[in-house]
Each structure stands twice: as structure tokens, then as C-alpha cells.
């Protein structure tokens, strides 16, 4: 969806960031990012925050995203909170958070109601079955993309941990919390030991 | 579940707790959502779970909003709201606190070790998501082929994912997937 962006007169194009956004600007920006974000919001977040509004440099954005990625929970939701609060404190975080979640939650609730009423219609069932097959493929491709760096640098320990989590969750269907309470300490201990060994 | 607890409370604490273990984002928590919603609580059938995943993937907004759909099927609009907030608020608060802490302390060495340690685990979780969703969605050879083709195309090309979802929908509508 092409965001309507009037050509902003930027006197010095090299200036990385513009003036800090207000609460309404934060809400509107994240609402736009969210509603534009079919199949993943990250691309649109980067485009809106870095390219369009110049609220952050690309590096600052990457750093903020990296922080939100290693914390649990939906990354982009974490990002909205961290980003908004960086400019306008807690109200700013809440403005960005509600902008990001409000509009799509309304859309999703309407879709959920429609699905409850019409989900049994045969044509819709067939369409959804087809879409979910394709969507699973997208997820698998994302998994392969993320695995490539581990494969390329022959990170056997990482791949072994990956496989162990896959077996525990995917095949044995063990509860997530139990698996992670074992896997995270092991992984941290190994990573720490290997970094000390390398240093 | 022998006793019948308030479904809204069950949603709140299920997703609130789950969000704190969703290492690697919403898609990493899909196996746990499937385990709880289909196997433990019987909120959804396997087929319905595949459907809500499809709807969440082709709708605007963050992928985490699959929980909005699950919440709605349990307790209507209130369920949708509670599930969404439970999945999003605790970790957003945590992220806020950690970012405040990190900007204050200059010696932010440990996050990179922690991050390196968590990456393989989150990929493993997402691989498990892929497997579980493939098992729920791909009930025929043609369906499995569509998934494989979509995976290869998305991996090898920079095609907009929406085209792949659309193609899947058309094939499904044509009755090829069953």
C-alpha cells in the first residue's frame, strides 16, 4: 500500500533524524505501519521510521530492533513500546502501542466474527485451506533463511541446540515453558564457555 | 480441566504467561498455542487452527494477532481483547524496562551473549511451528506440494508473499487442496 507521503522539504538531507514526534504523530505513524503490514510489519516499520519520518537512523533502528528481538514476545509490539517511550516517555510508548495494535485488532475481530458465521461455507473452507498451505510455506522459508548463517559458519553446537528444541517442541510436543527453562541455561552456558574459550 | 474456570481468566493467564516464553516472536509460540488451544483446552479443532493461522497471515497487522482470533473463538469480543492484551502488554512492559536499563548502563556486554544463545532456540521453535502447521494444513499430497512450492519460491525469490497466499487461495478455491 503506497503510503501518502507529501514530499517533505528536508533542507539538509544528511541530517539523520528530524524533530521528535508527538503523541498523535506516534499513534498515526504506527497505525499506518500496522495496516500496511501484510505478512510482516517490520519492513513497513523500517520504511516509516527511518526513511519517511527520519525519527531514527538505520543503525539506531537496527539496534532497537535487535533488543526487541532477543526479548520474548511479539518483536514489533515490543519495538512500538520502546520506540514511543524513547521520545515521549510512557505515554509515547502507549500511543505507539495502541496505534500498532488498535486498527488491526478491530479488523481481526470483524474477521473473527465473519469466520464464526461463515466459516462452514465450503468455498471459504477451501480458500482458507489453500491460503494456509501457502502460509506454512512462507514460514518454512523464513526458518531456512534464519538457519543459513548457522549452516554457513558451521555452527554445529547452534544447529544441535536448534534440532533439540525442534524435537522437544515439534515432535514430542512438550510444554514450551518446560523446554525453555532447560534449554536457555544450557545454551547460555555453552555460548559463554565458547566465547571465553575463543577469547 | 475438571472445574470450569472463567474462560476470560484462562485466556489472560495462558497468553500472559506464554508471551514471556515466546522467544523469537509470535511465530515461535505457535506450537504452544496449538498445544494449549487444540490439545489441552479444546478451544479449536485442528482445521480451525489452520484456518485462523491462514486468516492471521493474510490480514494486516503483526502476526501475533492470531491470538485475537483464538480469543474471539473462546469468548467473543472480550476474549479477543483480553487474549491480545495478555500476549502483548507483559513483554512490552519488559521491553520498556530493559531498554531503560540498557541506555543507563554503558557496559551492555551480556545482551550479545544472551542473544547469541537464544538465536538457535528461537529458530528451533519456528521450525517446530512449521512442522505442526504443515501437519494440520497439508492433508493431501497436493497440499504438501503447494507448501513446498511456496517455501521454495519465498526462499529463492523476492516475490511479495501476498502473491503466494493469493495463489494458494485460488488453488484451494478451485478444489485442488481439499
Name residue A38's beta-bridge partners.
B60
Q: Which cell numbers hold the place of A122?
A: 465450503
Q: What's the whole-model pTM score?
A: 0.83
* Interchain contact, B80 vs A97, CB within 8 Å: no
Q: Please report the pLDDT score of residue A1 as a whole number.
A: 39
- Tell me the pLDDT band of A11, cut-offs 50, 70 and 90: very low
Q: Which residues contact B32 (CB under 8 A, 6 or more apart)?
A: A169, A175, A176, B18, B21, B22
Chain A residues within 8 A of B171 when measuring between CB atoms: 130, 133
Per-residue pLDDT tens digits for B119-154: 889 889 989 989 998 988 888 899 999 999 999 998
DSSP type of residue A167: I
Pair B11, B74: CB distance under 8 Å: yes
Lowest mean pLDDT segment, chosen from A36-45, A53-62, A96-105:
A36-45
Residues of A with CB below 8 A from B127's CB? 143, 147, 162, 166, 170
Q: What is the dihedral sign for C-alpha B162, B147, B132, A149?
A: negative
Residue B115, pLDDT score: 75
Nearest-CB residue to A139 (from B48, B124, B129): B129
Least confident range from A48-52, A58-62, A99-103, A178-182: namely A58-62
> Are the beta carbons of B53 and B66 closer than 8 angstroms?
yes
What 3-state class would DSSP assign to A38? strand
CA distances for A71 relative to A50, A77, B69, B86, B131, angstroms: 22, 11, 24, 16, 24
Residue A176: HSE in the Cβ half-sphere, 13 Å Cα cutoff:
29
Q: What does the alpha-carbon distance between residue A100 and residue A48 come to, in Å, rounded to a whole number?
A: 12
Q: What is the DSSP letter of A55?
A: S
Four-point Cα dihedral B135, A40, A31, A48, nearest 10: 180
Distance to chain A for B4, nearest Cα, Å: 22
Q: Is B60 strand, coil or helix? A: strand
**Residue B162: pLDDT band with limits 50, 70, 90:** confident
Contact list in B for residue A122 (CB cut-off 8 A) is: none
The beta strands (E) that lie in chain B are given as none
Amino acid at each position: 500500500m503506497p503510503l501518502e507521503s507529501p514530499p517533505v522539504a528536508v533542507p539538509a538531507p544528511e541530517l539523520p533524524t528530524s524533530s521528535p514526534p508527538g503523541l498523535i504523530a506516534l499513534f498515526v505513524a504506527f497505525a499506518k505501519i500496522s495496516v500496511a503490514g501484510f505478512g510482516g510489519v517490520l519492513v513497513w516499520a523500517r520504511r516509516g521510521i527511518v526513511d519517511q519520518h527520519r525519527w531514527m537512523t538505520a543503525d539506531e533502528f537496527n539496534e532497537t530492533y535487535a533488543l526487541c528481538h532477543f526479548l520474548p514476545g511479539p518483536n514489533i509490539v515490543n519495538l512500538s513500546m520502546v520506540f514511543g517511550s524513547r521520545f515521549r516517555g510512557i505515554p509515547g510508548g502507549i500511543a505507539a502501542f495502541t496505534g500498532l495494535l488498535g486498527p488491526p485488532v478491530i479488523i481481526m475481530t470483524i474477521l473473527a466474527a465473519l469466520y464464526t458465521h461463515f466459516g462452514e461455507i465450503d468455498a471459504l473452507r477451501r480458500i482458507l485451506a489453500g491460503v494456509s498451505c501457502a502460509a506454512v510455506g512462507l514460514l518454512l522459508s523464513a526458518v531456512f533463511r534464519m538457519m543459513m548463517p548457522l549452516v554457513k559458519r558451521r555452527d554445529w553446537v547452534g544447529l544441535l541446540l536448534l534440532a533439540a528444541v525442534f524435537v522437544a517442541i515439534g515432535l514430542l510436543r512438550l510444554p514450551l515453558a518446560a523446554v525453555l527453562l532447560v534449554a536457555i541455561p544450557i545454551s547460555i552456558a555453552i555460548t559463554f564457555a565458547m566465547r571465553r574459550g575463543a577469547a | 480441566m475438571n472445574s470450569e474456570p472463567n474462560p476470560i481468566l484462562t485466556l489472560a493467564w495462558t497468553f500472559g504467561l506464554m508471551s514471556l516464553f515466546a522467544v523469537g516472536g509470535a511465530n515461535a509460540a505457535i506450537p504452544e498455542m496449538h498445544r494449549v488451544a487444540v490439545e489441552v483446552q479444546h478451544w479449536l479443532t485442528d482445521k480451525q487452527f489452520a484456518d485462523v493461522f491462514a486468516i492471521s497471515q493474510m490480514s494486516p497487522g503483526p502476526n501475533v494477532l492470531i491470538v485475537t482470533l483464538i480469543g474471539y473463538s473462546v469468548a467473543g469480543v472480550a476474549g479477543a481483547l483480553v487474549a491480545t492484551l495478555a500476549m502483548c502488554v507483559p513483554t512490552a512492559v519488559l521491553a520498556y524496562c530493559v531498554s531503560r536499563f540498557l541506555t543507563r548502563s554503558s557496559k551492555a556486554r551480556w545482551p550479545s551473549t544472551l542473544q547469541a544463545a537464544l538465536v538457535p532456540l528461537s529458530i528451533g521453535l519456528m521450525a517446530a511451528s512449521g512442522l505442526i502447521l504443515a501437519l494440520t494444513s497439508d492433508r493431501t499430497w497436493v497440499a504438501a506440494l503447494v507448501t513446498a512450492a511456496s517455501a521454495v519460491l519465498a526462499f529463492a525469490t523476492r516475490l511479495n508473499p501476498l502473491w503466494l497466499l493469493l495463489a494458494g487461495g485460488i488453488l484451494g478455491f478451485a478444489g485442488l487442496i481439499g
